Structure 1
Amino acid sequence: MTFDDVRKFVLTWPEVEDGTSYGTPALKVRKKMLARLKEDGDSLVLPDVPTDERAMLVESRPMLFYFTDHYADYPMVLIRLSKAKRADVEPFLRRRWRILASKSARAQYDAGE
């Protein structure tokens, strides 16, 4: 998977737009970060992943999920896109999107499913 693959399906969700964060491509919902491409060009930064969940992900699938010292104190996990499938990435993005999207956007999306 690539960041462009992620962009293609996420941009179909209401209120998602392209942006940048820390000089890298990002996807945002109502000006708040949904996810961004890490500077290495292969990792997606996924915010709002509680540290206990992150620990379980890293332990169970270390080739896919990881974090660096920089993110140790933040509820974020990194996912290696080159090792990921849509089914690995989408649930995290959808959960974060549901937090950030307006009630009307969520209703619009749910009605279309």
Structure 2
Amino acid sequence: MDITTLFVNIAGLALIAWIVWYFWLYRKEGVQVAEVAGVQEVPITVKGGYDPDVIVVKRGKPVRLLFNRQESALCSEMVVFDKINKSAKLPEGETVTIEFTPEEPGEIPFQCQMGMLRGKVVVKA
């Protein structure tokens, strides 16, 4: 085995390790939501995805998510919360509010109607 083959093998293994870490092992911590006047409120920008896409809230306190869609892609024109039976159309350039009060700790996933853009609300006790 010459030095070129050794280098290519090491580079390939390093690339495989990075792909495994990035797609299966890496977990975002999420954005801690500040409470204002008894409501946990966070603005979410919709542009090629949700920013932030992981939101951490406290159980039993009202949550207000302010979605602002800044693109014209058809996929992002709606947000769907299957677990809590809520959804909303997101007109381009407008802010749309979704409010709920999480009662159980866990995750509340949300996505576009096609399932391509994804996010989640993590409810802590």
Q: Same fold judged by TM-score > 0.5?
A: no
Higher helix share: 1
Instruction: Tell me the TM-score normalised to structure 2 length.
Output: 0.26
Instruction: Tell me the TM-score normalised to structure 1 length.
Output: 0.27
Give the structure with higher Rg (CA).
2
Higher strand share: 2
Higher relative contact order (CA 8 A, sep 6+): 1
